[in-house]
């Protein structure tokens, strides 16, 4: 049973702070020297070192231990004919759904693709910026508990739209990673590099390269603690996106909210196992109705145990008379998904500044964003939307400034350049200017 908490109650506020604190604990960063995370970090370091040294051999051993006891090096790379044959076995209805998803994600990512800004002109000076794609990127998507072709689409399509030359898709060789639907998605996307590997070993293989796995410049995608630890430990040697951990949702609603809709959205995140979900509402009546709906709807879902565990342990309905206070709290949660079911959407949107993705209105379920809307569903979690964004074409682009000086422009700026260089005791910097402008 989900708890209904009153923000005006001191004990309930303390419980809200505890829930928020549990979310905000850095899962793979600051606290690596504490408890089970310390052990996990050591294990990840060992796996990464082993993959760096032994390549495919180490990768096979890890895959045998966690996914498939009969796994061999020949199975690491998925052959094109495997993908084609898998696609032929998928029903026309599912293939149509895959194509719709790919098409609409591609349309949206092309729409938000940035253009080089206009040149800034000063007298004798031209200043600009250009966007260029990464040469290569690894897109990792999980396969331990379910099959996720949607996550592959949400990662690979933005990379393709950005113009990345080499996109390497990677998922565990579990029964879910081997499904026809996953391989059909790879086929529809035209991927040439599809890798069977999971966990920290897969991240290491993408970072270091092996005989079977191309080395990449950046790795993006969700995964378990081991995957996220590996990405963090390798950051700097490769690029990474952010922390894409357990799924979460915050719903902001007033008395106009639809209880059955809200409960269904909360359950959709709770069933991820683990998942956390929060309703922040100004209406006590709505809070009570949603609690009843959660009990009724969760009893009908296939993943009922996971849902009930999430609702009881890492979720809450929070009530307060002030929408402003609830929006302030939502900004502190900085949730992966935020759904608005309020009368004045624009007023709330203006004040809501921290969220991975925002779904506006009762007919905008998070599930639409998960599959076909267009923005990627690979989003920051654990309050990291305070400083991090979801995956998009921007994740696969670099920005380079472009600076052009003519003699007239350099002469105008020379005194300031040389004065600052001399003040920093860098006479070589000053000389590189004076040699150009001195008589």
Residue located via tokens 């591609």 = 106
Single out the catalytic residue among 187, 272, 337, 377.
337
Q: 424: exposed, middle or buried (C-beta count within 10 Å: 0-12, 13-18, 19+)?
A: exposed
Name the DSSP class of 116: P
Q: Catalytic site residue 336? A: yes
203 to each of 47, 111, 214, 376, how far by Cα in Å?
10, 30, 12, 21
Both tokens of residue 290?
């949603």
Largest CA distance in the chain: 86
Single out the catalytic residue among 271, 308, 336, 395.
336
CA torsion 188-189-191-197 (nearest 10°) is -90
Q: Catalytic site residue 337? A: yes
Cβ 397 vs Cβ 114: under 8 Å: yes
Cβ 48 vs Cβ 200: under 8 Å: yes
**Which residues lie below 8 Å from residue 83, measured CB to CB, with a gap of 6+?**
183, 184, 186, 187, 191, 194
What sections of 112-177 are H helices per DSSP?
Answer: 149-162
Q: Which residues are catalytic?
A: 336-337
């Amino acid at each position: 049973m989900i708890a209904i908490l009153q923000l005006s109650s001191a004990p309930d506020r303390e419980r809200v702070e505890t829930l928020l604190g549990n979310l905000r604990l850095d899962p793979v960063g600051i606290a690596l020297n504490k408890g089970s995370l310390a052990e996990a970090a050591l294990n990840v370091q060992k796996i990464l070192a082993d993959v760096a040294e032994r390549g495919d051999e180490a990768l096979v051993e890890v895959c045998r231990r966690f996914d498939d006891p009969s796994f061999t090096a020949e199975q690491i790379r998925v052959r094109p004919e495997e993908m084609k044959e898998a696609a032929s076995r998928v029903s026309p209805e599912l293939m149509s759904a895959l194509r719709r998803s790919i098409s609409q994600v591609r349309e949206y990512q092309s729409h938000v693709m940035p253009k080089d800004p206009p040149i800034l002109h000063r007298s004798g000076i031209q200043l600009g910026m250009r966007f260029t794609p990464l040469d290569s990127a690894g897109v990792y998507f999980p396969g331990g508990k379910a099959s996720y072709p949607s996550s592959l689409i949400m990662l690979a399509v933005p990379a393709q739209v950005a113009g990345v030359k080499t996109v390497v898709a990677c998922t565990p060789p579990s029964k879910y990673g081997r499904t026809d639907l996953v391989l059909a998605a790879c086929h529809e996307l035209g991927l040439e590099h599809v890798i069977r590997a999971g966990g920290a070993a897969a991240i290491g293989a993408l970072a270091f390269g092996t005989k079977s796995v191309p080395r990449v410049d950046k790795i993006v995608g969700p995964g378990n603690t081991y995957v996220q630890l590996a990405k963090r430990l390798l950051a700097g040697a490769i690029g990474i996106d952010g922390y894409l951990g357990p799924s979460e949702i915050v719903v902001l609603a007033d008395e106009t909210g639809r209880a059955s809709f809200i409960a269904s959205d909360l359950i959709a995140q709770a069933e991820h196992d683990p998942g956390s979900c929060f309703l922040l509402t100004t209406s006590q009546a709505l809070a009570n109705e949603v609690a009843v709906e959660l009990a009724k709807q969760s009893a009908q879902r296939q993943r009922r145990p996971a849902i009930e565990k999430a609702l009881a342990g890492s979720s809450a309905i929070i009530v307060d008379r002030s929408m402003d206070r609830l929006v302030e709290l939502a900004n502190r949660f900085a949730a992966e998904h935020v759904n608005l079911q309020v009368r004045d959407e624009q007023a709330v949107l203006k004040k809501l500044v921290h969220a991975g993705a925002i779904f506006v209105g009762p007919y905008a379920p998070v599930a639409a964003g998960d599959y076909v809307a267009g923005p990627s569903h690979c989003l920051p979690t654990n309050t990291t939307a305070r400083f991090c964004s979801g995956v998009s074409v921007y994740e696969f682009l670099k920005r380079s400034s472009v600076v052009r000086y003519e003699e007239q422009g350099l002469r105008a700026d020379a005194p300031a350049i040389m004065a600052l260089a001399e003040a920093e005791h860098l006479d070589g910097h000053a000389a590189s200017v004076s040699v150009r402008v001195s008589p």
